[in-house]
Amino acid sequence: MSRLFGTDGVRGLANRSLTAPLALRLGAAAARVLTATSPSSQRRPVAVIGRDPRVSGEMLVAALSAGMASQGVDVLNVGVLPTPAVAFLTDDYGADMGVMISASHNPMPDNGIKFFAAGGHKLDDTVEDEIEAAMLELPESGPTGAGIGRIIEESGDGLERYLFHLASSVPAPLDGIRVVVDCANGAASDAAPQAYAQAGADVVAIHDHPNSYNINDECGSTHIDIVRQAVLDNHADLGLAHDGDADRCLAVDSEGNVIDGDQIMAILAIAMKEAGELRKNTLVATVMSNLGLTLAMKEQGITLRRTKVGDRYVLADLNAHDLSLGGEQSGHVVIPAHGTTGDGTLTGLSLMARMAETGRTLRELASVMTVLPQTLVNVPVEDKEKVHTSTVVADALAEVEAELGETGRVLLRPSGTEQVYRVMVEAPTSAEARKIAGRLAAVVISEG
59-76 exposure pattern, b = at least 16 Cβ within 10 A, e = fewer: bbbebbbbbbbbbbbbbb
2 is catalytic: no
Does residue 39 sit in helix, strand or coil? coil
The one catalytic residue among 56, 70, 102, 104: 104
Q: Point out the annotated binding site for Mg(2+).
A: 104, 243, 245, 247
Full DSSP string of 52-113:
-S-THHHHHHHHHHHHHHTTT-EEEEEEE--HHHHHHHHHHTT-SEEEEE--TTS-TTEEEE
Full DSSP string of 365-433:
HHTT-PPPPEEEEEEE-S-HHHHHT-HHHHHHHHHHHHHHGGG-EEEEEE-SSSSEEEEEEE-SSHHHH
- Distance from C-alpha of 371 to C-alpha of 258, rounded to nearest angstrom: 11
- Distance from C-alpha of 99 to C-alpha of 113, rounded to nearest angstrom: 7
Do residues 368 and 270 lie in contact, with contact meaning Cβ atoms separated by under 8 Å? yes
- Distance from C-alpha of 379 to C-alpha of 198, rounded to nearest angstrom: 47
Task: Give the closest residue to 445 by CA, choosing from 374, 383, 359, 370.
Answer: 383
Task: Give the closest residue to 83 by CA, choosing from 194, 249, 223, 233.
Answer: 249
Q: Point out the annotated binding site.
A: 104, 243, 245, 247
Task: Give the closest residue to 331 by CA, choosing from 250, 244, 245.
Answer: 250
Please identify every residue annotated as catalytic: 104
